[in-house]
Amino acid sequence: MMFLIPTAMGLATANCYVAFYRNAEQPFRRSLISAAILVFLFIAVSTEVLGLFNLINRVAIAVSWAILDIALAVTWFRLESIHGLTFPTIAKHWLNGTRNFCQELGAFTIAMLAVLSLVTLVVAIAAIPNNQDSLSYHLSRLGYWIQQGNVAHYASHIERSISFSPFSEYVHLYTFLLSGSERYFQLLQWSCLAGVLALVSMIIRLFSNSRAALRIGLCFAATLPIVVLESMTTQNDLVVAFFVLATVFFVFDYIRNNHLASLYLIPLCCAVGMMTKGTFLFYVLPFGTYLLISMLRKPVFRKHIVAFTAASLIFTLALNVPYWYRTYEIFASPVGTISSGNQNTFTGPADYVSSVSKHAFLHLGFVSPGNQYNDFLLNQLRNLHAAMGIPLDVPRLGMPFKMNKLNFNEDFAHNFFGIWLIIFSIPLLIFTRLPKAAKWYGWLTFLSILVFCFFISYQTYGSRLHIPFFLLAAPVVGLTYGSVLSAWSARLLPFLLWVAALPFALLSSAHPFLSTKWFFEKIFPPINSALHLNIRVDAANLNLKQESVFYASPGRLFWGDHWPGTETLLKQVNALNPQKIGFVFTEASFDYAYQFLLRKPGRTFAHVRVTNPSRMLEDPAFQPDVIIAEKNEGAGFDYHEKSYRLTMESDGKWLYVPIK
């Protein structure tokens, strides 16, 4: 049944092409992006509607997609008869457009992008999802939603699973139920990166016909280390980046070309973008303000401002209020309480400068002999804070600061070369001759990260939260460097970025294409020692030494060096053949990993002895046959009129069974 989704995408793309874009520039890319937004909107709306009737199951979802496909097919036949265009005809137009685009990029650039895309695609399909956040809350939600037949909140020790925005998981829910497999989970982020690259190319083309700008901008976006690593995961930063860039493209397309379709796609992007991740708002706020000011200034736009504003509010609220309300009922806040520590609390201007500087320095660190480079930068940051009269590390401004060296994990990798290219693009943006609209785009991009730094405090994993900014900056980097570099330099820069990005595609610490165990045991130690890089490569460094995803077992990919102890416990659980399994977890427990390895027909899971406000949702009739705990609950306890005793402890995990 999985074919229902690509069928919908194909029909929606064809309908958008014929109805809106057949005479526009870049018609195929415009049609594809618009179709993706409409399909995403359908997923968001249909999930909420089906959930109201407890119809989150394979049959109901397949029927809903079949209805969508039929509706799109009927629409296509009507458009075909009106405009006299057939599928073979428009497919030929798309093929010609794709061929022209590839000629613009050149064979060398196409080859570099293809290698990165192919490697990450293979890993995304072959690897079992094992990102830490995904195991804790991104994917763990799916099992409970399917179990209860709706997307209502449930009792959970992991507050993020019942308070963080759910859209990406709605997509995973559909692909899992339609295919019966986890293999499609990581394709969402990979596909969104493909969409982002299409949008980057479209934004550059709004302002320039320079081939150098196009090549540099696309390669900059595709080779950012954190982007490469996240494209192989089930996180949601690339998904929200897709909606951010789509919104920004439609803003400038409407202002420059007066495309009404672009104006009314913005509310749809805003609605689903907010449903994906709250950071969407910070990145689009400057561009939204720019759009409103532009609409107020020009009479030709002014007549649409009321309808546009109303549509934006109605779509965003209609789509998001149900989830916000469910969260509010539990936590007395529409966004929960778990993310409160990520917010800045300012007492003066120096606090804001501190936030901006720490967010920037997060990406400036790198490896060097004796760590001299990082020590120098850290001293400059400390001197800046001393001059302002505030500590470098203060709780109201985020986590304790730490300079990065070199990290191959999708939560912590930073963009060393990317940040320096962006920094040097600022004077270029001032002095190079670019269209006025391009300069406005650039300054609004820089303003977007300043807005982000105002609201969000420094975090060691902040690099992934910066993904939308770096991708927004890709057209700026392409346009500025493309206008000043010589022909050979404009070809060399993308190649150097590609070389620097390739290790991240091949040697991810979470799911490597090649074995990192071989690299970090045989190749890297002599380099580390000779250059005095002082990089830890032992087990404490996020299980850095991993087998290739083509050989590692799911358990090893989930728990790394802790797998043997966990395997012992899980074997004991299965030996008891329980039908109902209770979990006592911490916020960081790998909920999905337990579900994946213990899943059997008829077996159900639930969080028990929950201590946060969601305990009100615990089912008093649920009496587990076993309880797995990642917190020591003592020798025994009573739960729902049953007494449980400790029977096993293994590697920080406790197994409790009923006393008969």
Bridge partners, residue 626, by sequence: 581
Bridge partners, residue 644, by sequence: 637, 658
Q: What totals of helices (H) and strands (E) does the chain contain, helices first?
A: 28, 6
Report the mean per-residue pLDDT for the chain. Answer: 93
With cut-offs at 50, 70 and 90, classify the pLDDT of residue 107. very high
d(C-alpha 356, C-alpha 453), whole Å: 6
Residue 644 lies in a domain: yes
Range of the domain at 570: 559-658
- Look at residue 198 and tell me whether its pLDDT is greater than 90: yes
Q: What is the mean pLDDT of residues 415-444?
A: 96
* Contact call for residues 4 and 69 (beta carbons, < 8 A): yes
Q: What is the mean pLDDT of residues 387-398?
A: 91
d(C-alpha 10, C-alpha 15), whole Å: 9
CB atoms within 10 A of CB 241: 32
Six-digit token string for 633: 């609950």
Residue 634 lies in a domain: yes
Residue 569 lies in a domain: yes
Query: Looking at residue 547, what is its pLDDT?
Result: 82
Q: What is the mean pLDDT of residues 508-535?
A: 79
Q: Check residue 539 and report its DSSP letter.
A: T
Count of domains for the chain: 1
Q: What is the mean pLDDT of residues 567-589?
A: 96
- Look at residue 199 and tell me whether its pLDDT is greater than 60: yes
Q: What is the mean pLDDT of residues 303-309?
A: 93
Residue 552 lies in a domain: no
Query: Looking at residue 546, what is its pLDDT?
Result: 77
Q: What is the dihedral of CA 337, 341, 347, 350, to 10 degrees?
A: -150
Instruction: Give the strand pairing for 636-639 and 642-650.
Output: antiparallel
With cut-offs at 50, 70 and 90, classify the pLDDT of residue 53. very high
Q: Is the pTM above the cut of 0.85? A: yes
d(C-alpha 5, C-alpha 585), whole Å: 35
Q: What is the mean pLDDT of residues 351-380?
A: 94
With cut-offs at 50, 70 and 90, classify the pLDDT of residue 543. low
Instruction: Give the strand pairing for 580-584 and 626-629.
Output: parallel
